[in-house]
């Protein structure tokens, strides 16, 4: 399963150069990941009721081209890898309409108890969070549009 959300870049998300500030991609990743989990029928709230937190333990982002104020972007999310105590999500941020790849990334989350001890991901969650073949691997991005370099 690959989840996708569409967002419009807000002015408050840009820096002095008019480009989306790099940390905002983490917020977009979080929103896309939350939607993916919701679409699988596994809400974070339900995991927390079961005594489990999923805590981010690692983040990687590669910026390829800038997103700017008022752009529509599509943020795709999928499960890249799944273990008994860790789940890794992949992300692709694309310019809506053209499919130009703006950024790629991944986050790894570990399963913790409410006392913050490492624990297994519940079986029902493991059944719902199936790894998906990576849609970005070996993908070539369309060339940047005139005046758009990597940010």
Please confirm, yes or no, whether 70 is among the known catalytic residues: no
Q: How many helices (H) and strands (E) does the chain have?
A: 3, 5
- For 79-130, the pLDDT digits (tens) are 999 999 999 999 999 999 999 999 999 999 999 999 999 999 999 999 999 9
pTM: 0.87
Q: Answer whether residue 122 is part of any domain.
A: yes
Domain span at residue 115 reads 2-128
Q: Answer whether residue 141 is part of any domain.
A: no
* CA dihedral for 135, 140, 142, 145, sign (positive or negative): positive
Count of C-beta atoms within a 10 Å radius of residue 32: 24
59: left (phi over 0), alpha (psi -120 to 50) or beta: beta
Query: What is the number of domains present in the chain?
Result: 1
Mean pLDDT in the chain? 91
Q: Answer whether residue 148 is part of any domain.
A: no
| Structure-token pair, residue 38 | 């919701």
Find the CATH number of the domain harbouring 80.
Answer: 3.10.129.10
Q: Which of 15, 70, 81, 124 is catalytic?
A: 15
Q: Answer whether residue 85 is part of any domain.
A: yes
């Amino acid at each position: 399963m690959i989840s996708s959300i569409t967002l419009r870049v807000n002015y408050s998300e840009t820096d002095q150069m008019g480009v989306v500030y790099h940390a905002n991609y983490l917020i977009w990743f979080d929103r896309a990941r939350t939607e993916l989990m919701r679409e699988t029928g596994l809400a974070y709230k339900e995991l927390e009721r079961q005594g489990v937190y999923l805590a981010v333990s690692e983040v990687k982002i590669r910026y390829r081209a800038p997103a700017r104020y008022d752009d529509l972007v599509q943020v795709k999310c999928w499960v890249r890898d799944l273990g008994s105590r860790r789940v890794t999500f992949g992300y692709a941020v694309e310019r809506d309409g053209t499919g130009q790849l703006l950024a790629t990334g991944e986050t790894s989350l570990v399963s913790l108890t409410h006392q913050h001890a490492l624990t297994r991901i519940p079986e029902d969650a493991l059944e719902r969070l199936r790894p998906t073949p990576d849609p970005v691997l070996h993908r070539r991005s369309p060339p940047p549009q005139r005046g758009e370099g990597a940010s």
